[in-house]
Structure 1
Amino acid sequence: MGGNKEKLFNRMKPFIGVVFLQFGYAGMDVLSKAALNKGMSNYVLVVYRHIFALIAMAPFAVILEKKVRPKMTLSIFIKIMLLSFLEPVIDQNLYYLGMKYTTATFAVSMYNVLPAITFVMAWILRLEKVKLKSIHSQAKVFGTLATVAGAMVMTLIKGPVLELFGTHGSNMHNQPNGGVNLQHAIKGSVMITIGCFSCACFMILQAITIESYPAELSLTAWICLLGTVEGGIVALIMERRNFSAWTLKLDTKLLAAVYSGIVCSGMAYYIQGAVMKERGPVFVTTFNPLCMVIVAIMGFFFLAEQMYLGRFVGAIIIMVGLYLVVWGKGKDYELPSPITKDPILPAKQTIEESNGKEEHSNYELNNLSNLGAGKVAQDEQV
Structure 2
Amino acid sequence: MSHLKATAPYVGMMVVQLAYASSSILCKLALDQGLSFLALAVYRHLIALAVFGPLAFVLERNQRPSLSFYVLVRIFILALFGTTLHQNVYYAGLNYTSPTVASALGSVIPAFTFIMAAILRMEKVSIKTAKGRARLVGTILCIGGVLVFTFWKGHLLEGFVRTPLIEVHGSDPKRGAINDQENWLKGTALILTSLFAYSAWLILQAVVSRIYPARLSMNTLMCFFALVQSSAIALIFERNASSWRMDWNIKLLAICYNGIVISCLTYYLQTYCVSQKGPVFVATFSPVLLVIVGIASAFIFAERLHIGSLIGATIIIVGLYCVLWGKSSDTNEKNSGVEKSSGMHATEGQVEHCLC
TM-score, shorter chain, exceeding 0.5: yes
1:235 aligns with 2:230: no
Change (3 A) 1:138 1:192: same
1:138-175 Cα deviation digits (max 9, x unpaired): 11111122223223323333433556xxx754388xxx
Partner of 2:162: helix, strand, or coil?
Answer: coil
Deviations 1:195-220 (A, max 9, x none): 12211111111111001001111111
The superposition leaves residues 220-248 of structure 1 with CA deviations (integer Å, 9 ceiling, x where unpaired) of 111111111111111111123x1221111
Give TM-score scaled by structure 1 length. Answer: 0.80
Instruction: Give, in whole Å, the separation in 2 of the partners of 1:247 and 1:303.
Output: 27
Residue 371 of structure 1 is matched in structure 2 by none
Matches of 2:177 and 2:107, distance apart in 1: 18
For residues 300-379 of structure 1, the aligned pairs below 5 Å read 300=298, 305-337=303-335
**Partner residue, 2:151:** 156
Alignment counterpart, residue 276 of structure 1, candidates 274, 281, 289: 274
- After superposition, the Cα gap between the structure-2 partners of 1:39 and 1:178, relative to the gap in structure 1 and judged at 3 Å, is closer
Aligned to 2:347: none
CA distance in 1 between counterparts of 2:337 and 2:70 reads: 34
For the pair 1:202 / 2:201, whether they are aligned, the reply is yes
CA distance in structure 2 between the aligned counterparts of 1:336 and 1:236, rounded to whole angstroms? 46
Match of 1:260 among 236, 258, 266: 258
Letter in 2 for 1:206: Q
What does residue 296 of structure 1 align with? 294
Structure-1 residue corresponding to 2:134? 139
Alignment of 1:54-73 (within 5 A): 54-73=49-68
TM-score, with normalisation over the residues of structure 2? 0.85
Q: Tell me which of 6, 9, 13 is aligned to 2:8.
A: 13
Alignment of 1:43-54 (within 5 A): 43-54=38-49
* Pair 1:98 & 2:93 matched: yes
Q: In structure 1, how many angstroms separate the alpha carbons of the residues matched to 2:233 and 2:305?
A: 41
Cα deviation 1:301-354 (Å, max 9, x = unaligned)? 6665445433332232222212111111111121354587xxxxxxxxxxxxxx
**2: CA distance between counterparts of 1:303 and 1:231?**
30
User: Structure 1 regions of 5+ residues with no counterpart?
Assistant: 1-5, 341-382
Q: Any conservation in 2 of the 1:148–1:289 contact (CA below 8 Å)?
A: no
2:352 maps to what in 1?
Answer: none
- Residue 63 (structure 1) shift: 1.7
Mark the CA change 1:207 to 1:183 in structure 2 (over 3 Å): closer, same or farther. same
- Of all paired residues, the percent bearing the same amino acid is 38
Instruction: Tell me if the contact between 1:170 and 1:306 (Cα under 8 Å) persists in the aligned partners.
Output: no
RMSD between aligned residues? 2.2
Q: Distance in 1 between matches of 2:308 and 2:193?
A: 27
Give distance in 1, aligned partners of 2:36 and 2:53. 26
1:246 pairs with 244, 247, 269, which one?
Answer: 244
Give the Å deviation of 1:300: 4.2
Structure 1 residue 261: deviation in Å? 1.6
Amino acid across the alignment from 2:245: T
Which of the residues 99, 109, 113 maps onto 2:104? 109
- Which residue does the alignment assign to 1:187? 186
Distance 1:168-1:68 versus aligned 2 partners, 3 A rule: closer
CA contact under 8 A between 2:177 and 2:183: conserved in structure 1? no
CA distance in 1, matches of 2:272, 2:95: 32
Distance 1:312 1:101 in 2: 22
Q: Rg bigger for which structure?
A: 1
* Structure 1 CA distance for aligned equivalents of residues 59 and 88 of structure 2: 31
Q: Distance in 2 between matches of 1:210 and 1:339?
A: 18
1:170 maps to 162
| Structure 2 residue identity aligned to 1:309 | I
Relative to structure 1, the CA distance from residue 91 to residue 312 in structure 2 (aligned partners, 3 Å threshold; closer, same or farther) is same
The correspondence for 1:79, drawn from 63, 70, 74, is 74
Deviation at 1:22, TM superposition (A): 0.9
24, 27, 32: which one pairs with 1:29? 24
Q: Distance in 2 between matches of 1:75 and 1:67?
A: 22
Q: Tell me the equivalent position of 1:124.
A: 119
Per-residue CA deviation, residues 116-141 of structure 1 (Å, 9 max, x unaligned), is: 11110111011123223111111111
Are the counterparts in 2 of residues 147 and 286 from structure 1 also a CA contact under 8 Å? no
Letter in 1 for 2:71: I
Where structure 2 has 5 or more consecutive residues not aligned to the other structure, the ranges are: 165-175, 339-356
The structure, 1 or 2, with the larger RCO (C-alpha pairs under 8 Å, 6+ apart) is: 2
Kindly indicate whether the alpha-carbon contact (under 8 Å) linking 1:171 and 1:306 is maintained by their aligned counterparts in 2: no
Q: Which runs of 4+ in 1 moved over 6 A?
A: none
Q: Is the 8 A contact 1:221 1:266 kept in 2?
A: no
Shift of 1:299: 3.6
Q: Which stretch shifts more, 306-315 or 187-196?
A: 306-315
